Amino acid sequence: MNQTRMQVTGVPVDNIDMDGVVDHAQKMVAGNQQCTIFAMNPEKAVASLDDPELYDCLNSAGLLIADGIGIILASRIHGVPFKSRVPGSELMPRLCEMAAANSYPIFLFGAKEETNKLAAEKLVQTYPGLIIAGRQNGYVDESGMPDLINTINESGAKLLFVALGSPKQEYWMNQYKAQLDVLILQGVGGTFDVISGTVKRAPALWRFFHLEWLYRLLSQPRRFIRQSRLPAYVWLVIKSRLGLLKA
């Protein structure tokens, strides 16, 4: 049983900080055990309560990190403050740093070809000694999955980063993890875009005040549909605090 897993606004999340996640991942690789890492944020929380399949998929993760500041604030409102937020975009570089230090090969799957290629190049430059065992853009249809699984397994990668967007990446990892020899699987959303420089991350001041979500919305208006779930999450927090959520 996962001792760090808790319920916040009716959805599962692990109360663990960044160092704890990296340490856990390293122990899993050293022990030859597999662990999937998914991120929980307000949008996924709302969606998962309306979709039992997504809820079960998220809950099946080895670690379900609190990626959104809304999760952290909700935990404080409920009197069980989380240790800290664990942004998925910061976790991937930390895992790559750990992989480089231990000579664990990694595999990049997802995003556009140019973005994937640039991300691989930047990672090698940033983390000397990092082994990119292989990479594949996200444009693989269902018929190509057996070959992709074989390619990943034959590469010898220990860590796999999947950038297919949510919830597609969560469903993909949940479906294929049993066929994969990799030990750490992390869903990273648009992190390849940030690492490659295709998309700029919010300036430090915006991140300090936990307004990265607003910066991304202003710089990428197409995210409005996703962010439109935020009012629903606020209502979810209120209902949870009043004990109005169904068990």
CB atoms within 10 A of CB 177: 17
Output the pLDDT for position 101.
98
What CATH number should be reported for the domain holding residue 72?
3.40.50
Spatial contact of 16 and 4, defined as CB atoms under 8 Å apart: yes
Which has the higher per-residue pLDDT, 4 or 101?
A: 101
> Would the pTM of this model clear 0.75, i.e. be above it?
yes
Q: Provide the percentage of residues in the chain whose pLDDT is more than 90.
A: 63
Range of the domain at 144: 4-189
Cis-peptide, bond into residue 167, ω within 30° of zero: yes
Structure tokens at 62: 């080895």
CA–CA separation, 119 vs 204, rounded Å? 21
How large is the greatest C-alpha to C-alpha distance in the chain, in angstroms? 52
115 within domain boundaries: yes
Q: Are 175 and 150 in contact (CB under 8 A)?
A: no
Residue 85 lies in a domain: yes
Alpha-carbon dihedral angle through residues 94, 48, 210, 6, given to the nearest 10 degrees? -70
Question: What span, in angstroms and rounded, lies between the C-alpha atoms of 197 and 119?
Answer: 8
If pLDDT is split at 50, 70 and 90, which confidence band does 168 have? very high
pLDDT digits (tens, 9 = 90+) for 32-54: 999 999 999 888 888 888 899 99
Could you give the strand order of the β-sheet that contains 106-110, starting from the edge strand earlier in sequence? 63-66, 35-40, 184-187, 159-163, 106-110, 132-136
* Mean pLDDT (whole number) for 210-218: 65
- Count: domains in the chain: 1
User: Interior CA angle at 41 toward 37 and 47, to 5°?
Assistant: 100
Which pLDDT score is estimated for 1? 46
Q: Please indicate, yes or no, if residue 11 is contained in any of the structural domains.
A: yes
Ranked by mean pLDDT, which of 51-60, 146-155, 198-207, 228-237 comes out on top? 146-155
Token digits of residue 96: 């790559």
206 assigned to some structural domain:
no
Within a domain: 41: yes
pLDDT at 65 over 80: yes
Mean pLDDT of 129-154: 98
| Beta strands 5-8 and 11-14, pairing class | antiparallel
Burial degree of 231 (CB within 10 A; 0-12, 13-18, 19+): exposed
User: What is the per-residue pLDDT for 72?
Assistant: 87
Classify residue 216: in a domain, yes or no.
no
- Please count the other Cβ atoms lying within 10 Å of the Cβ belonging to residue 19: 12
- Within-domain flag for 123: yes
Name, of 27-41, 68-82, 190-204, the range with top average pLDDT: 27-41
Residue whose pair of structure tokens reads 């606020």 in the numeric block? 234
| Averaged pLDDT score across all residues of the chain | 88
Kindly state the average pLDDT of the residues 52-61.
Answer: 94
Residue 127 lies in a domain: yes
